[in-house]
Structure 1
Amino acid sequence: MFLKDARSVRLREGEHHVDDVSNTLKRFFRESIGESIFTNEAYQDWFHTSMIPEERQKIQQYQTLFTCLPQVNRATLKAMINHLYCVQRFSDKNQMTMHNLAIVYGPTLFQTDGQDNKAGRVVEDLINHFIDLFNIDEQQLKKQLDEIVSIIKLRDVCLMQSSQNAGDFICTVYLEEKKSECELSLKVPATMTAQELANEILYLRKLMTKEKDNWSCFEVIEREEMERPLHYAEKVLPILLHSLGTDSYLVVKKNIAMETMLMYLASRVADQKHGMVKFREERKLALGVGSFSDRYFMLTGFTLRLYKEVRSNKPEKEWPVKSLKVYLGVKKKFKPPTCWGFTFLYENKEKHEKQQWYVCCDTQMEQREWFATFLYVQNDGNVWPSHSSSSRASRTPPDSRFSNISLIPLRGNANEMRNSVAAFSADHLSIFKKV
């Protein structure tokens, strides 16, 4: 059945085990595909390459041999080494180090008897130099590893939450900064808003707040180089389910810019913003060329437009404002010209299109004015509650059994996410029954 239509095979927890998958994979490469994936004509060349002492020369020779393989062999080998690379990244949990995997899969992929270590040495090299050998997009690889972390955590949470209320999730949130003494674990119902989460955290820590403290919940990503204050009415659960990765977290802290932004919005005549900023595109960053350059931006009630210069009549680009996600900050490796920058994320789900670009302002006040206008337009003028709400989704103290377990980010489109949450609420283990 696996050979006829591998995609139709459904593994079920309790009926199948990790060893079943591993044994099937090894039998496939050893018995079902005829010759070795490295081909009978070239496998000795791979062995000789593993003996080259200089690493850069060795990698270049491996790349040459790889390009000489048939297309199907190249795709299969790349997928297999990708899998082994991901497995060894979690060797602390599965005990399968790079060396152990090479010993197991070297003879299998080369279809040798395993009497010497040549095959294992090649496979270990391929795993070790996976990113360079196959020109891997590190951002995509990070997403893949994040998803694996998510699955591992989801299984742990499913097992530990079997006695909890359906639909409530356990989430780790930090107060003011990411330190062990500042973290709290609490239930997050599907209805909880960012303001309710902030209020709950402040209540649990018994903090007295003032009216203009403007406590907010922030989504922090990319090793703390970028952050986004959640709108006070924004639901927290979709952020936890769909956005947070291994380098991301939620923190409740004072929004020190909010009072200034509210004063700016109160003094404006029109609901728009325009001006010159420094701009850089993601695609140029990916190519390793280009730099930040001056561009004229115009933000109106519905659209953000980019012009090459002030006098231009036709915009170079334009985006619907409510489809943009705006983060404060730009990653340092892109060398932003100022520290008052934004990172814009745009996703068109209908066209399966994603864009990311970067903008820097000349002053902090200019950054705050732009951000205030974005918040105003995206939320139809409802930027901040007129009075501080004390409502909380729950006053139940966090269950000590869950310690610092973080909730897992699920991947997929909106329908897939809703289906996953619905299935999880009804039966905590149901999500694994179709794996």
Structure 2
Amino acid sequence: MVSKVQSLKLDTSVWSNEILFIMLGNDRANEFWASRLSLSEELDCDATPEQRREFITQKYREGRFRRAHPGFGSQDELLKVRRRHSRTSPKNTDENFQKFWCTVDKSLLFYESDRCSDPSMQISVKDIVCLGVSRPDGSNNNNGFIDSRPEWEVISPSLVPLTLARPLQAFERVGLLRYKAMLDPQQWKEAYFVLQKSNLFICPGNDGAAEDIINLNRLQELSEYPGPVQNDSHDKKDILVLVEKGRTLHLQGMGRTDFSLWYSDIQRAAGGRGNTLREQQLSRNDIPIIVDSCIAFITQYGLGHEGIYRKNGAKSRIKLLMEEFRKDARNVKLRIGDHFIEDVTDVLKRFFREIDDPIFMADLHPLWKEAASDQRLDRYKEIIRSLPRVNRTTLAALISHLYRVQKCADLNQMCTKNLSLLFAPSLFQTDGKGEHEVKIMEDLIDNYLYVFDEHQTQIELEISLITTWKDTQLSQAGDLIIEVYLEMKIPDCCITLKVSPTMCAEELTNQVLYMRNVPAGDRDVWMTFEAIEDGQLERPLHPKEKVLEQALQWCKMADPSSAYLVVKRLHKHSYKSEIMKVGLLRCREEPPKLLQGNKFQERTFQIRDHKLLLLKDKKVRNLTGILRKIWTCDVKNTKRTDSSFSKTLGFAYFSTGSSSSMFKSSSSCAK
């Protein structure tokens, strides 16, 4: 007979970890969790997932079947337990930490007292890569901290060059980081960084480069992504990307710990947590992103919406959208299918009503009232010039938007008087009974071009385009009726048809041919072309390109009426002759997971017989009969889902020389 101990050691196929857990661990756990479980309450083997979920909730979360404490039935015992656990936990006082007498002289020296001559601990200043301000968030950590910030900020000048000593009066974090800019994207450099409120100071060190500053509220993007594996180790260091107007900066910590601290502090400083205009996340034009996004959305979809700004949205949706903007306005994308125009208009008014200081500024309120008299327009201009930059740019953007709204009053039924009555209480933060505030709003809207020194030409063109399309707008939001020409721009070849936001160029081409009963032969290719400057410049639209999305871009042109769409026929022989068959592409082969560092290289490619050929020598221009084929790729079977391949083709198509009829780069054409 084999003993149980020997059986456990030898017969591993029977005594697996799962069986041991069921027979020992699970039974012992159920002695506590299921000690009061009756047979009628046990879970049946054929129970549904909902019944199992309910049973698990009752068993573990509610503890309905667990074994009760022996003193549970005694009221006195329960009161004793409650008193014992209701005592407040001791706070972190000075007695909880070990005190040292410290000095700073190229090193941070710790002495047990001021009478000791030998330090008990020493930290070289060169070894300190990061110095930050600890916040009392209530979490326990193992990091040492100094309870007297003003006295110990003298450590920071020892960390950075003397040139940065002046702005270190009230920093959040200071230390050494690795960085690279897009001007030199291959080379990492080291510099000292200082985070002070929403400003990030950069001191490149001793290489003679000038100091720089980044306003984190003006960032267009703040993201994190894993970096490549380091050559000397298998550790990956994360990279923080800061994108602002005109430049992109990549930051990397000296280690994982300091990078996480930098990332959290920069994210907090760039979050626009304040409730004033200057503390908001700003666009590249120094306008709060919440204002810029709402105005852009309403301008695109709501100028013809009847009763705009007068009709109210749903309070629950408004509250949710407001919280999303407050949390991170950069990541809020307004879309017509997901958001309602009434909700966005209420969010815009609510934002101006709830900021701490009104956009017109409370201190200047008496000046605004005094200015509402003769020569008031010039006085308005003087007061506006005295506003802070963020207030000035935001006010200009809002009044410009309201000027466009009242210009479309025939469509939306919102005149200057109505808009002034709605916005004056929010912008001045009054009770809405002030006649002076309403009069000021009327003057600013009606005289926007004069007060803000704007040119009338561009605005009138945009408004003219909107009002011209007022009769073509259908009940189904987003659909428009536009004119498309067949082969040439003459009245007899004009076709009027409805274009939806989802219609692509291929669908438009097929619909035009169907309406004109034009057969599409096998030897001919029909395509939709976008023409501007009355046909002087043309480009073919990719079959999957959205037609309406491209047509709406015409309003940004100096003369939108000079642009139109035309469907043309390309004969097969002419179509083949115009294709760029040979050119340079930047490509690389995907390396195995164990090999890293493959870079993109310029190689010569040729398209022939539905094959993509990679040629041996990129310098040879005469390719006939002298270049050897390395590998081929069947173009017909290549999937369009490979975005990197499509973008590379787009770059090559544009760089190798395009037709004189092309007027803009389109990577989608290369796909």
Greater Rg by CA: 2
Q: Looking at both structures, which has the greater relative contact order when contacts are Cα pairs under 8 Å and sequence separation is at least 6?
A: 1
TM-score by length of 1: 0.42
TM-score by length of 2: 0.30
